[in-house]
Amino acid sequence: MTTRSQDQTQDLKVLGTGRLSTPEGGPSVAQLEAFPNCFPQRPYVISISFPEFTSLCPVTGQPDCGTITVEYIPGELCVESKSFKLYMFAFRNHQSFMETITNNVLDDLRTLLHPCWCRVKGLFAPRGGTRIHVFAESFKDMPEEQNALVREVVRSWKSEPDPHRP
């Protein structure tokens, strides 16, 4: 017998479609979809890692590869993972510096989700003998009690070993 959770999926358009199309104009917040957080009263961390990230250097056109990891404490919304994957794929032929990409991903997720906290880590593979890691983070303005609780969850989360390592 199949059972169903309380997840609200009726407004999701990307999940379940079999085809991947190349986005026009590169990555955009419009490619991302969100669904309601069933537990907005509870601060918990969602971590998504995309280890096959690629983009292009805006000067040389050479590929930049790495891992983009998003960590966030949702407010009312959570990002739908397939739309996130397609959003990440949109960077494949996009020319931009790694620092810009990391900060733009943070801005797009903040625009879509309005999370209590969000951190984007861009861990880029060495190219030309140089390894670049970019961390961008943001906290939402919240009432003092909620802010203290969220910051404690973030502090605890940051002390955990990397959850995406086997």
Of the residues 11, 64, 78, 116, which is catalytic?
64
| 11 included as an active-site residue | no
Of the residues 7, 11, 38, 57, which is catalytic?
57
Secondary structure of residue 101 in the 3-state scheme = helix
Answer whether 55's CB lies under 8 Å from 67's CB. no
| Cβ atoms within 10 Å of 155's Cβ, excluding its own | 9
* Mean pLDDT, residues 44-54 taken together: 96
**pLDDT given at position 25:** 75
* Mean pLDDT, residues 33-53 taken together: 97
**Percent share of the chain, pLDDT over 70:** 88
What's the predicted TM-score (pTM) here? 0.85
Q: What are phi and psi of 21, to 5 degrees?
A: -105, 155
Query: With 60 as the cut, is the pLDDT of residue 18 above it?
Result: no
pLDDT band at 8 (very low <50, low <70, confident <90, very high): confident
Distance between CA atoms of residues 163 and 119, nearest Å: 15
Query: With 60 as the cut, is the pLDDT of residue 2 above it?
Result: no
Largest CA distance in the chain: 56
| 64 included as an active-site residue | yes
The H or E element containing residue 119 is strand 117-127
Answer whether 27's CB lies under 8 Å from 92's CB. no
- pLDDT (tens digit per residue) in 134-163: 999 999 999 999 999 999 999 999 998 876
* Mean pLDDT, residues 3-24 taken together: 67
Closest by CA to 71, choosing from 49, 52, 92, 53, is 49
- pLDDT (tens digit per residue) in 94-130: 999 999 999 999 999 999 999 999 999 999 999 888 8
